[in-house]
């Protein structure tokens, strides 16, 4: 029997904020386009069309006293308990985010100290050899953190890592922009450990990462409000939705295929794809295009979805979704030992990544 060293996810956790923001809450808004011209379409019609395209009916926002680092710590504690792990044995704490802590009613990013350092503090870890650091990689940040942990584990530099994705996008939204309805808050985490397993045992099988930073680099960025009389010095998250969609359709399926092929896994043996919850229609078409590369048809239950009620929480979408399925909290979706799954994401940068994993 061949024994191999694999990076294995031994515990998961997530924090879903308590504040529910429904689509009806946006029907009283006045929306403006990128040209700062008011959109004359009735806001109710704008919201209705938005839901038809994205699949988002509601999303979650953090309470006024909650910060990204606090949500990260809660998700981390749950993952650590799930892994039956002593926090003092962690070698690395990797926290993916994009805006750090943004205090309610402000728009200033606070990343001093790093969120990972704050999480280590919150977990009361005294071990000086436990190294905390942050990743800025757009929405694919958590998946990239998992890839980075895998590399450190394989190199023998670390034996146990905590990987977290956390975001409070509700703090950087332009309420006059239709795209503001997409984004939400949340946190997800996992513990990854290096373990000896048999040849067909659990663990990360392969990874793939791509970045396109020419004209694509500013498809997501910080810019002034769409409202014509806004202060140009205050910037909010902005997205060129059509450009992001076209980019994702062109490049994400190929990156996913690259990852699956590196793992030497047959497309028919793939049980679930945990893809970044960005837009329901876009995700569905990415999966369809991915399977088309193998002249295959995607199974009906291949892609769990949480976007309908949780929205797009950036780096938190994939780990939160995975935690929900692992804990049997998502109807019609479950995982068993030996199942091969894929994590995939696309976002600001523009960056794409994927991980093939056996349960």
Taking the CA atoms of the chain, what radius of gyration do you get in angstroms? 20
Burial of 253 (0-12, 13-18, 19+ CB in 10 A): buried
What does DSSP assign to residue 200?
A: T
Question: What's the mean pLDDT in 125-143?
Answer: 97
Domain extent listing, the chain: 3-198, 203-358
Question: Given the DSSP bridges, would you call strands 109-110 and 101-102 parallel, antiparallel or unpaired?
Answer: antiparallel
pLDDT digits over 15-28, tens only? Answer: 999 999 999 999 98
| Domains 3-198 and 203-358 alike in fold | yes
Q: pTM of the entire structure?
A: 0.94
Name the pLDDT band for 200 (thresholds 50, 70, 90): confident
Question: In CATH, what class is 3-198?
Answer: alpha beta
Give the tens place of pLDDT for each residue, 109-123: 889 999 999 999 999
Where in 279-339 does DSSP place strands (E)?
A: none
Residue 70, both tokens: 């606090």
Residues in the chain: 359
Burial degree of 84 (CB within 10 A; 0-12, 13-18, 19+): exposed
Dist. CA 18–CA 28, nearest whole Å: 22
| Pick from 182, 116, 104: nearest CA to 149 | 116
What's the average model confidence in pLDDT over 96-103?
95
Per-residue pLDDT of 151-165, as tens digits, reads 999 999 999 999 999
- For 59-95, the DSSP string reads EEE--TT--HHHHHHHHHHHHHHHTT--GGG--EEEE
Q: What distance in Å separates the CA atoms of residue 353 and residue 34, rounded to the nearest whole number? A: 29
Select from 309, 350, 291, 312 the least CA-distant residue to 185.
312
Give the separation between CA 317 and CA 344, rounded to whole angstroms: 11
Task: Cite the beta strand spans of the chain per DSSP E.
Answer: 3-15, 19-22, 58-61, 92-96, 101-102, 109-110, 131-135, 160-168, 185-198, 203-211, 220-224, 235-239, 270-275, 340-347, 351-358
Q: Is residue 106 classed exposed, middle or buried when 0-12, 13-18 and 19+ CB atoms within 10 A define those classes?
A: exposed
What is the C-alpha end-to-end distance of the chain, expressed in Å?
Answer: 19
* SS3 label, residue 13: strand
Helices (H), 210-267: 241-262
User: In the chain, what percentage of residues exceed pLDDT 70?
Assistant: 99
Residues 6+ apart with CB under 8 A from 80: 11, 13, 87, 123, 162, 191
| pLDDT at residue 1 greater than cutoff 70 | no
Instruction: State the Cα–Cα distance between residues 218 and 204, nearest whole angstrom.
Output: 31
- Asked whether the predicted pLDDT for residue 353 surpasses 80, the reply is yes
How many helices, marked H, and strands, marked E, lie in the chain?
A: 8, 15
Cβ distance 62 to 172 under 8 Å? no
Q: Are 145 and 165 in contact (CB under 8 A)?
A: yes
Tokens describing residue 136: 């800025």
Cis omega (within 30 of 0) on the bond before 324? no
Assign domain 203-358 to a CATH class: alpha beta
Do 189 and 165 touch, CB atoms closer than 8 A?
yes
Nearest partner of 344 among 302, 308, 299, judged by Cα: 302
pLDDT at 104: 80
Mean pLDDT computed over every residue of the chain = 94
At 219, is the pLDDT very low, low, confident or very high (cuts 50, 70, 90)?
A: very high
């Amino acid at each position: 029997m061949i024994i191999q060293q694999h990076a294995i996810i031994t515990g998961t956790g997530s924090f879903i904020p308590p504040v529910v923001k429904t689509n009806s809450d946006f029907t009283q808004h006045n929306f403006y386009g990128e040209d700062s011209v008011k959109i004359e379409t009735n806001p109710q019609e704008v919201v209705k069309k938005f839901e038809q395209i994205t699949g988002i009916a509601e999303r979650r926002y953090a309470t006024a006293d909650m910060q990204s680092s606090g949500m990260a710590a809660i998700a981390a504690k749950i993952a650590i308990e799930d892994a039956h792990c002593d926090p003092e044995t962690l070698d690395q704490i990797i926290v993916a985010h994009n805006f750090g802590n943004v205090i309610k009613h402000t728009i200033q990013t606070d990343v001093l100290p790093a969120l990972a350092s704050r999480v280590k503090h919150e977990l009361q870890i005294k071990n000086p050899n436990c190294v905390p650091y942050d990743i800025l990689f757009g929405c694919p940040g958590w998946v990239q953190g998992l890839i980075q942990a895998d590399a450190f584990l394989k190199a023998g530099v670390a034996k146990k890592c905590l990987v977290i994705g956390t975001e409070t996008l509700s703090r950087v939204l332009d309420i006059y922009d239709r795209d503001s309805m997409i984004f939400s808050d949340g946190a997800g985490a996992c513990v990854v450990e290096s373990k000896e397993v048999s040849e067909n045992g659990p663990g990360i099988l392969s990874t793939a990462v791509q970045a396109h930073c020419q004209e694509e680099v500013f498809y997501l960025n910080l810019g002034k409000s769409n409202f014509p009389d806004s202060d140009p010095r205050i910037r909010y998250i902005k997205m060129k939705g059509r450009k992001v969609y076209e980019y994702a359709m062109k490049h994400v399926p190929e990156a996913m295929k690259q990852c699956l092929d590196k793992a030497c896994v047959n497309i028919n043996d793939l049980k679930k794809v945990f893809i970044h919850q960005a837009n329901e229609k876009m995700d569905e078409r990415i999966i369809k295009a991915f399977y088309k590369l193998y002249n295959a048809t995607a199974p009906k239950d291949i892609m769990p979805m949480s976007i309908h009620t949780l929205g797009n929480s950036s780096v938190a979408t994939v780990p939160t979704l995975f935690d929900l399925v692992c804990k049997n909290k998502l109807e019609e979706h479950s995982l068993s030992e030996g199942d091969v799954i894929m994590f995939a994401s696309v976002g600001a940068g523009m960056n794409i990544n994927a991980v093939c994993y056996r349960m």
